[in-house]
Amino acid sequence: MNLKNYIRSIPNYPKKGILFRDITTLIKDEKAFAESIDQIVERSKKFKIDKIAAIESRGFVFASAVSYLLKKPFIMLRKKDKLPAETYSVDFELEYGTATIEVHKDSIKKDDSVLIIDDLIATGGTAEAAAKLVEVSGGNVAAFIFAINLFDLGGSDNLVDKGYLVENLMDFPGH
C-alpha cells in the first residue's frame, strides 16, 4: 500500500506559500491507518525503547496506537500550560512563530530510552524541542519516527546531523 496516496495536500494553509500535508485523509481510512501504525511498529524494532513520547497533537494519534501495541508507556509532550503537574519547558521557533512544549517532570526517568513519534517533520524546531525535553528529564532519545518528512525543509537531515536516529514513512516536498 502506498501511504502517500492517502495524504491530502492543501495549498496556502495555514498561510500563503505553505503547502499543508493533511493526515486526516490517512487516518480516516482504517486500512491506511493500520498500515502506517504497522510500519512505525516495524521500524521501532530497530531501537531499544523504554517509553514512547509524542508531540501534541497529531503525534498522539500515531504514538498512542504504537504505545499500546508495543506495551510501552506513553508520554505526552504538550503545549504550554496544558499539563497539570510540575513540568519542564522548552521554547522553540516555528516556521511562522514561536511556541513552548512541556512534559511532566515525573514522566521520564534517568536513562530512559525514549522513542519520539510525530506526524510530520518540517524544519525540525519542534522535534529538537522534544529531544531537549527528553534530555532535560534525564532520558535519552532512542530515535524519531515521522509519518511525513518534508525533505526540502531539512528538519530530518538536521536531526541526523545532530546525532539523532530518524525514520520517515513518507517523503514530500514542503512547497
Q: Quick check: is 58 catalytic?
A: yes
Closest CA to 82 of 97, 63, 101: 101
Q: What is the dihedral of CA 28, 34, 37, 41, to 10 degrees?
A: 180
Q: 147 CB contacts (<8 Å, ≥6 apart)?
A: 3, 23, 26, 36, 40, 62, 118, 119, 120, 168, 169, 170
Active-site entry in 58, 78, 102, 167: 58
Active-site entry in 35, 56, 95, 135: 95
Q: Quick check: is 8 catalytic?
A: no
| 46, containing H or E segment | none
End-to-end CA distance of the chain: 25
Task: Indicate which residues carry an active-site annotation.
Answer: 58, 95
